[in-house]
Structure 1
Amino acid sequence: MLITGFLFFFLLILGVPIAFVLLGASVAYFAMNPMMASIIAQRMASSLESFPLLAVPFFIFAGAAMARGGIAHKLYGLAEGLVGHWRGGLAQVAVMNSLFLGAMSGSSNADAAIEARTIAPIMRERGYSNAFASVVSASSSVVAPIMPPSIGLIVYGLLTNTSIGKLFIGGIIPAFLITISMLITVRIVSKKRGYGAMREKRMPAPEIMTRARTALWALAMPVLLLVGLRGGWFTPTELGAIAAVYALLVGLFIYRGFRIRDVYSMLTESAHTTAGVMLILAAASVFSMILALEQLPQSMLEALLGLTDNKYLLLLIINIALLLLGTVLEGLALLVILAPLLLDVINNLGIDPVHFGIVMVFNTTIGSVTPPVGTVLYTVCSITKCSIEEFTVEFLPFFLALVLVLLALVFIPPLVTFLPNLLF
């Protein structure tokens, strides 16, 4: 196990993709026992024989169709009508737009890329600094993996055998809290910088309603999700298929954001993304078996319980550790490696796995925006050409706001569990 651990951290330091880090360490472990070598392929294959996993490619394709289908433009118009009159109006629009897009894509990287390409250039033209525009694009995208349908929540649900439907519903209130915290932060920073509103007065209600009607087909997606899951009409996996078909039809025939010939490239893009996620999950299943064989979860449980038996204090310790790890490890990697390990800990303390799942996904998503190893950070900065140093300085107040929301979710579980308990 010592060689396996050394190889694991060595490959991480080299920057090897997480799937190959897990596979490399697993091969080294089973090489010590040739009789068990065949387990690797068997375990990888069997881990993917899961009906709920079908939701992943469906939602990924739905997100791609929503991004290309002209939906982002319709949502931008609605967001501009709602908050364009606030101080820092264009940045407020970016935050509100992320909430809408998050209900379509479920991916912070996709959300941030759309914002960085569409709204950030306009913000620079209106006098906002490039660093501020970049930070708003990245920070507001944190809501996407919390707002259903979320790929991160699906992965957590599969890894811990937690109801994906409850996780989806549990993310709704936290998503709105994140959005409100970003709107407030933008307002405070804009006041200090002198960033003004997009218009002097609130947009008339009839015009807002007109824009809402224009974006109605886009806004119907989360409503479809809530009503369908609550009514028991379909499972999260079936919802993924419905969402994919819905996004395709809306993009093709209603908003006409792409044509039939563009569908192939969307399918290719979605297949590449899905393959990456599936490879990580397959590799993680082998690595998790090693951890079980070595009884590492039990050792971790004993160590953590030796610190304190207060579940809230233990949650605080775990979240501080996750925030620190998130600065150097990719969020999905942390989720895949640690979620199965921490499951025994939270079950032993009577912590709701739905509550912990939302907290963990949110925590690891904050890490994706935080230097030095933030995937969303690098996605945005590569598009806006913002330096990491400038981004980091501008990000501090937004980081503080996100951490405050995280602490609220940790210490006030009903913020997460109220809706799932009510609806299920």
Structure 2
Amino acid sequence: MTTTAPPTGRHPLLHRHWLRTGWVMTASGWSANQFSALLGAYHSDLGLTAATTTALFGVYVLGLIPGLLLGGPAADRRGRRPVVLAALGLSALATGLLMAGSVVTGLLWPGRFLTGIGAGALLGAGSAWIKELSSPPYDTHSTGGAAARRSGLFLSAGFATGGLVAALTAQWAPAPLLTAYLPHLVLSVIAALLAARAPETARPGGRPAAPASDAPVPAPATALAPAPADSTEVRSPAPYGPAAEPSTAPATAFRRLVAPVAPWVFVAPSIALATLPGLVDAGLTGWQTVYAGLITVVTPGTGLLVAPLARRLAARHRIATAVAGLAAVILGLLLAAFAVARIRPDAALLAAAVLGAGYGLCVAYGLTEVAALAPPDRLARFTARFWALCYLGFCTPYAITLLTGPFAPATVLLAAVVPAAATLALIARRGTRPTV
């Protein structure tokens, strides 16, 4: 029987299939950040050095980048659902290895590596899936940029809650380095069950899938007035003005306007999560893990709160969100340097909040640009490339650890302001000048 358009008054929640896939992004963020909150516990309980825990934090990226670069194209070729379900299974296996690492510390390395692969595949396939389920015929009520905001919000929610739950569990539960990982296993099962019920949006070979029988199908054009301009995902304005069309090819525009900003997406939170707590918590004896957990909430939590600001900035100018995000990163680095120099945990919390705002604005900018630039049959690939560049920022804490031998930590943080300011100037110049 032919599916007809839903009645005009039908509640939009009935067709928000993206809600089912959003938990995939939450599981990805949770898997990444649950370990971050336990760095102090690994140092105190297992005797791991600061260099080792920081390296374990960064080895995640070694798995994540191939996970992104392989998972995105695989999702374009084979469909979103099979890649997402396989990645969730791999992520759960990685968490199991991290749990066993409390007894056999050598298993922490493959656990973190596989965590990266699973999270990378989830990010590439999940972001594309949410974008497609936020557009007609699956969702006829979304506003422009909705998919990018939804992906970022679900991911940030995973970052925030994963770190907090792990920290609180580690502080008061028995066998903390084992039980702290149990909530992620539960979340992975829930995310898999929900994703299994979401419509597939890509057929093997990269062709769009036919909508499921319960997805709304638009009525004939003669029966409906034209949709308002902001009712679906819309193409971003050109780099040099808020109304013109881009004049460069998608890949070129990606290299010019997205790639320079992407690494700063996670430079900011990785410094807040992996670097700041250990440098300012000397006077918090017995509460270091809780303090680290608090930072894992404040940092991505601020990223969630700036979502409305990101939406308003994007409506004003294409690069406004990126400029504001990079400015927040610079301010956060300055505050972090002050907090470290004075050993001020309160100032470090403020720095983490500002760095989190920079993260939220930069990730909203990048995802919005990718959704606007990528051709439909290459959406997951472009998304994967964006996330791969973003997660290069996770190597920053290890670089800071290496540099703090010859230099004071506050000096290293101040030095990081220079490339951040250079990136801001580059984007401002490219984004306000016409390309010919």
- What is the TM-score with the length of structure 2 in the denominator? 0.29
Question: Normalized against structure 1, the TM-score is what?
Answer: 0.30
Higher helix share: 1
